[in-house]
């Protein structure tokens, strides 16, 4: 077939498989993202072999997660994040330190040198904001304090994970070339990344709050959406220049757009884009696991240990950091930080390319990243319902949630489809 025909067939298979498995997952009282990840495993090279990850599908997956985090930012306000700033900071820091330390010790016990152990541990550190954000969006709980802590911590988490990854990569290079590690270089990188997030987040939202009237001037009703999408893509690209993930820039773009008067209209206009593009990210993520390399007792044992360690260490770090919110909310936050998703897969790919570990360890890390992404959504959904208690909700949100009988409520244009 013509290459364009092959691409169209792959797109069709990914999209239809995502819709079917998402529907089945929701009928089983699980978030749709679980079904989409499983769909990737089934139609990917490991089982049916109907699709194979490549440049086109990977690009669509990246666009999908960028749009998802933009939409999450659009439903988040800077003032909400400020209220949970200290808790988010503690969750972000402890959510990096505890998994990194635990995974380094485990890898060293398994026989790896300390430098290689730290490289493996880097795959246990960063949280996949895309997985958790989708669950929070599906449950319509983005305004709860647990959700704000998770999203704020994910930004801090990404900065620290970027710094750690840079250090362990340089350790490999310094060991092979005999050169010394330059700590000053990483201090500069860290300062640049933090400055980027703070300047764009604060200055951008400040300008949008006071100078957003120009969005009303274009005659085309879609012009406002086109402008903020351009901002989303531009900041996504710019964030990669500061060593951050593209989704951080997309989240900041949504945060800026949420301060404009067009917020509800933009939420309504982005829903069709999300319905089309976000399934590609989750299906392609699932398609990257190689089940054949895991079909031995040794591999399954390593995978079990790695997954249990990944869940426990991240949960403990997030839980301890969020204890100021109360025990129930802290448990939800801890679970929300568990999924590694595409971040762990990226680290695994770097380690394989650098010759740090074998195909088996690569497969274990990739499978661990996907298993944490599959385990988290149903557990997080249950914990959020468990944490739903009047004593753990913000007073303002509790008042807003009370039903009124004197007048009908206005339609919620920004709400997503009921599961």
HEC secondary structure over 301-325:
HHHHHHHHHHHHHHHHHHHHHCHHH
The separation between the first and the last C-alpha atoms of the chain, rounded to the nearest angstrom, is 38
Q: Please list, in sequence order, all residues whose beta carbon lies within 8 angstroms of the beta carbon of residue 376, skipping any fewer than 6 positions away.
A: 131, 132, 135, 335, 336, 338, 339
Residues sharing a CB contact under 8 Å with residue 188, sequence separation 6 or more, in sequence order: none
- The pLDDT averaged over each successive group of 10 residues in the chain (419 residues) is 78 92 82 81 88 85 85 74 77 89 88 80 77 74 80 75 63 52 64 78 76 61 81 88 76 84 81 88 81 83 90 91 86 86 64 70 80 80 72 40 43 42
Q: Return the pLDDT at 14.
A: 92
Cα(397)–Cα(215) distance, integer angstroms = 29
Q: For residue 200, which of 153, 238, 226, 243 has the smallest C-alpha distance?
A: 238
pTM higher than 0.95: no
Contact 306, 360 (CB under 8 A): no
Upper half-sphere CA count for residue 376 (Cβ side, 13 Å): 34
SS3 411: coil
Neighbours of 205 (CB within 10 A): 21
- DSSP-derived secondary structure letter, 356: S
pLDDT at 171: 58
Instruction: Output the CA torsion 310→315→321→326 (10° steps).
Output: 180
List, in order of start, the domains of the chain with CATH numbers.
7-390 (1.20.1530.20)
- Which H or E run contains 192? helix 183-210
Specify the pLDDT at position 391: 46
CA distance 28 to 40: 18
User: How many helices and strands (H and E) does the chain possess?
Assistant: 17, 0
């Amino acid at each position: 077939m013509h290459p364009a025909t092959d691409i169209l067939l792959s797109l069709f298979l990914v999209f239809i498989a995502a819709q079917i498995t998402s529907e089945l997952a929701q009928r089983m009282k699980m978030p749709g993202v679980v079904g989409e990840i499983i769909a990737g495993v089934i139609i990917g090279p490991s089982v049916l072999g109907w699709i194979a990850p490549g440049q086109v599908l990977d690009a669509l997956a990246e666009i999908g997660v960028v749009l998802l985090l933009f939409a999450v930012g659009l439903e988040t306000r800077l003032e909400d994040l400020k209220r949970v700033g200290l808790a988010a900071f503690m969750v972000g820091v402890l959510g990096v330190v505890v998994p990194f330390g635990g995974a380094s010790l485990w890898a060293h016990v398994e026989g790896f040198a300390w430098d290689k152990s730290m490289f493996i541990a880097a795959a246990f550190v960063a949280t996949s904001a895309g997985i958790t954000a989708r669950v929070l969006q599906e449950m319509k709980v983005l305004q709860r304090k647990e959700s704000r802590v998770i999203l704020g911590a994910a930004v801090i988490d990404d900065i620290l994970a970027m710094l750690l990854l840079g250090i362990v990569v340089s350790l490999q290079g310094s060991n092979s070339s005999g050169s010394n590690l330059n700590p000053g270089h990483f201090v500069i990188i860290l300062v640049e990344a933090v400055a980027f997030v703070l300047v764009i987040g604060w200055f951008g939202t400040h300008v949008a709050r006071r100078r957003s009237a120009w969005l009303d001037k274009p005659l085309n009703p879609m012009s406002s959406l086109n402008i903020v999408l351009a901002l989303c893509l531009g900041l996504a690209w710019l964030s990669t220049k500061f060593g951050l993930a593209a989704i951080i820039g997309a989240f900041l773009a949504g945060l800026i757009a949420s301060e404009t008067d067009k917020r509800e209209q933009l939420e309504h206009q982005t829903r069709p884009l999300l319905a089309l593009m976000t399934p590609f990210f989750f299906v392609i993520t699932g398609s990257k696991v190689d089940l054949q390399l895991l079909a031995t007792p040794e591999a399954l044992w390593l995978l079990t240990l790695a997954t249990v360690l990944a869940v426990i260490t991240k949960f403990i770090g997030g839980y301890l950091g969020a204890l100021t919110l109360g025990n129930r909310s802290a448990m939800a936050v801890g679970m929300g930080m568990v999924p590694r998703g595409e971040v762990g897969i990226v680290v695994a790919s770097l380690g394989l390319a650098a010759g740090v570990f074998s195909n088996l360890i690569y497969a274990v890390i990739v499978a661990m990243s996907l298993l944490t992404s599959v385990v988290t959504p149903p557990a997080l959904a249950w914990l959020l319902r468990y944490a739903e208690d009047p004593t753990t909700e913000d007073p303002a949100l509790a008042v807003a949630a009370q039903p009124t009988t004197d007048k009908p409520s206005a339609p919620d244009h920004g709400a997503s489809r009921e599961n």
